[in-house]
Structure 1
Amino acid sequence: MRLRLLSLLVLLLAAAPVKAELAGHGGAVKGIAVSPDGRRVLTASFDYSLILWDLESQRPLARLLGHDAPVNAVTFLPDGRHAVTGSDDGTVGLWDLEETRLTDRFRGHEGKVAAVAVSPDGRLAASAGWDRTVRIWDLVARRALLVLEGHANNVNAVTFSADGTRLISGDYDGVIRVWDVAEGTERKVITGHDFSVNMLAAVPGSSSVVSVSIDESVRLWDVEAGREIAEMVGHEGPVLSIAASADGRRVASGGIDGRLRVWELAEQRTVGGVELRTGPIWAIAFAPDGKTLLSAAGDTVRVWDIAADGEIGVAGNDAVAAAGNPSGDTSNAGRGARVFRKCVACHSVTADDGNKAGPTLYSLFGRRAGALPGYPYSDALRESGVVWTEETVDKLFEVGPDVLTPGSKMPLQRMPDPHDRADLIRYLKRVTEPNAED
């Protein structure tokens, strides 16, 4: 049965304000995960980093570094303490969030890892690679378990079935393959999408999965029967992201058109949505309560409350204006403080706070790069010969650390607007100088 259903509702952002924003990355956010208890959020970014957030306050708790390239996907383990990531560097990362460190990197893919998934019992991880393979990793023994071959093109998506017995993967050709997890064998090949499958999500409490594709559709599949249940159409352009609510009633999809849509699966219709003006929506996640939805467009994650009638509406004041600029200062220095919000997870600016994931910026100007005692700099940065001045800080954000300090592990962050760079530098000059006034 195929249903082509036009969307019933798209609300403009002005009519449905967001609750808050998680702003701190220096590149596009490609993955979002919410902890099983709904208290914390992990975001994965093109800037090579993860940020761990407190969801209630929307404040960063830690920036996690360990991959050597953009991070494309992230998911929590059921214990809430650990997480798994996939990166352009071809590795799968296992993280301890209490210790805020990368504990293992699983190697084997010969191309980027586009997606990761964790089994319901937390014992296995799966990864989808651009080497045309799907791999299963034993998280208890910390070793490779199975390599699943059969896709004829890059694999973009992977998810475990709700009961954990099946692994479902989708590729660039639009083909979905269903694997037996215990045996590592292929059970079914499902076709229907006209172009690439971009993401998959299992529907809790069922044998169904949802997929999104370049062909502009959201599709619901019965995995065991190997058949399509519904095709839901409403995006204008490729659909990039998909997530299912914990109760299995709803899914949310995001597209290159900047539209975020919420679908009622029982009726295969939209029950809410917004149109963002900040570009493609690369990632979506529901909180466990099913009432909170997070979406990523550009380097920012927005937090939404879904009202009882299904529309997306206001649940509180937007916290963005106050973050990093509590005084409400609208001067250049005040705007610089707002720009600096993207740096606070990694860097402090005072002598008392010391180093975080990155070195303190206290007494930054006039300091040689890589010279602060007690911080584990990369050899590339220590040997760069760069001295931090207004000119070199401006150049760093104009061209990016991969150009100014090649080989260093500084996250890829660029700031194309010269006015933003100037405001940031004025702010840093004011707050990082010894004996700076508050």
Structure 2
Amino acid sequence: MVTVPGQNGATAVPFAPPTIRRFLIVAGALLLAAMPARAQLVGHGGMVKGLAVSADGTRAASAGFDYSVMLWDPKAAAALALMHGHEAAVNAVAFTPDGSRVVSGGDDGKVILWRLGQGAPERVMAGHKGRVAAVAVAPDGRTAASAAWDRTVRLWDLESGAQLAELTEHAGNVNAVAFTPDGARLVSAGEDGTVRLWNRSDGREIKVLGGGLPVNALALTPDGRRAVAGGIDGAVRIWDLDAGTETAGPVVGDPAPVLAVAVSADGSTGAVSGVTGGIALWSIDDGRVLHTLAGHRGPVWALAFEPDGKRLLTAGGDGAIRLWDTAAGLEIRTGAAKLAASDVPRGEQGERGAELFRRCSACHTVTPDGGNRAGPTLYGVFGRRIGTVPGYPYSPALRDGNIVWTAETVGDLFKRGPDVVTPGTKMPVQTIGNDAEREELIRWLEKVTAPR
């Protein structure tokens, strides 16, 4: 069982029953609330579980515990789109080779295909009877693979949405999946400690490697000959897929369970991260650790190199996506996260309420044309019943709620916390203990969100 340190000494288990996963959402949101404003890409309302970068490096996609998929311009450090379609936390994302579409998988057991520029899912593929932990797209862009906690790997036709195959040999939850570069084979890994090699055309299992402690993460070298696997024992193991032999990976000095691994497109550099927030960059050839990266608070769930290998994107429990210079081993700064002037009516930016709203602005807008983000727009919120903004995918608890937002109910939300006032919410747990500051925020919100 994997334990994750949380604030105030709390612990959580990333691979655990739904009740524990709900705790993780709250713990991750607490970290987000405490996060400094300097994070690079902030928009998810909680943990970020998956990352992918398009083949040309112009786009990145992220999967969040707030049920959303976000699209980013990593060079400009700007959010481009927020996509809702999952009915539970999203765990994984992958681009199609041409970069025009994204595949995602979530706790709702669904695999969703998104076309960039369209807000609604292009195709929803259902069949898994457990959370989808990982997704991959074949090099020809025609087939997607999904690994799930129902102990299966499934193959999907992206044009029709039809299930092509169900691979059932794993003896536990499947946590990772990848196609070989030629697209002919598939590699998966999971709780049973094995790395399995499959024939894509007929779903036949070719080889079983390992069989020890659970494997949480998997990446292939660009030549498709080796699989890099990270497990709960904190070790990184490298498997020769043809010979079936194992070589030791880097000694990163952190015994904590591995949550993510990645390999650069040229095959020279690997990255590994774990539950304590540490990240290591290492040389694939000799296992030498090149840099250790520190900046995240809490577990780092996702890693993705840009195509040229010069930058690494990382994300995790603090809700932030950070960018790193891989040669220097330093975080790339593009300036502190700020409340955009376009999010606030002209003349309102200098007020204390606006300052307090900054940590909310990643998820909510307040202007007539702001629209929904990770959370619904707050424009016109006072006097509105909970769960009624058109087009926003509320959790069932909020859709069925009867709270009407007033100065009193909003004040109660920020005093006691959304997890208490609106149980089942996706909203990060943010509270304001200072009565005067809470009143300043509410007074400001009443003014700027009033319909006009």
Q: TM-score of the superposition, structure 2-length normalised?
A: 0.81
Distance change (3 Å), C-alpha of 1:380 and 1:47? closer
Q: Give the structure 1 partner of residue 6 of structure 2.
A: none
Instruction: Report the equivalent of 1:24.
Output: 43
For 1:206 and 1:62, locate their aligned partners in 2 and report how far apart those are by CA, in whole Å: 33
Match of 2:385 among 360, 368, 376: 368
Pairwise CA distance, 1:99: 0.9
Question: C-alpha distance in 2, partners of 1:355/1:75?
Answer: 24
Which letter maps to 2:385? R
Q: Per the alignment, do residues 106 and 306 of structure 1 end up closer, same or farther by CA in structure 2, a change over 3 Å counting? A: same
Match of 1:179 in 2: 198
Distance 1:22 1:353, change over 3 A: closer
Residue in 2 that maps onto 1:322: 338
After TM superposition, list the pairs within 5 Å mapping 1:186-197 onto structure 2. Answer: 186-191=205-210, 194-197=212-215
Once the two structures are superposed, the pairs formed by residues 245-394 of structure 1 within 5 Å of their partners are: 245-276=264-295, 278-298=297-317, 299-307=319-327, 311-313=328-330, 315=332, 317-324=333-340, 332-344=352-364, 348-353=365-370, 360-369=377-386, 384-394=401-411
User: Between Structure 1 and Structure 2, which shows a larger proportion of strand residues?
Assistant: 1
Equivalent position amino acid for 1:100 in 2? G
Shift of 1:285: 0.6
- 1:412 and 2:408 matched: no
Q: 1:330 to 1:415 in 2, by over 3 A?
A: farther
Q: Mean Cα displacement is larger for which, 374-383 or 149-158?
A: 374-383
Displacement of 1:428 in angstroms is: 2.6
Deviations 1:159-207 (Å, cap 9, x if unpaired)? 1112211111111121111111112100001016x41100111111241
Query: Using a 3 Å threshold, how does the CA distance of structure 1 residues 325 and 118 change in structure 2: closer, same or farther?
Result: same
Distance 1:265 1:323 in 2: 41
Q: Which residue of 2 aligns with 1:133?
A: 152
2:219 to 201, 219, 233: 201
Residue 251 of structure 1 and its aligned partner are, at CA, apart by 1.2
Superposed displacement of residue 277, structure 1: 5.2
Counterparts of 1:31-50 in structure 2, within 5 Å, are: 31-50=50-69
User: Is 2:256 the partner of 1:242?
Assistant: no
Aligned length: 406
Distance 1:31 1:313 in 2: 22
Contact 2:40–2:337 under 8 Å retained in 1:
no
Q: What is the percent sequence identity of the aligned residues?
A: 45
SS at match of 2:249: strand
Contact in 2 for aligned 1:162/1:207 (Cα 8 Å): no
Q: Which moved more, 1:108-117 or 1:19-28?
A: 19-28
Distance 1:246 1:390 in 2: 53
5+ residue gaps, structure 1, are 1-17
Q: Deviations over 1:309-334 (max 9, x none)?
A: xx31254x44234354799x897424
Q: CA RMSD in A?
A: 3.0
Change (3 A) 1:323 1:263: farther
| Runs (5+) with no aligned partner, structure 2 | 1-36
Instruction: Give deviations 1:250-275, integer Å, cap 9, x for gaps.
Output: 11111112111111101111111213
* CA 1:354–1:179: 2 relative to 1, 3 Å: closer
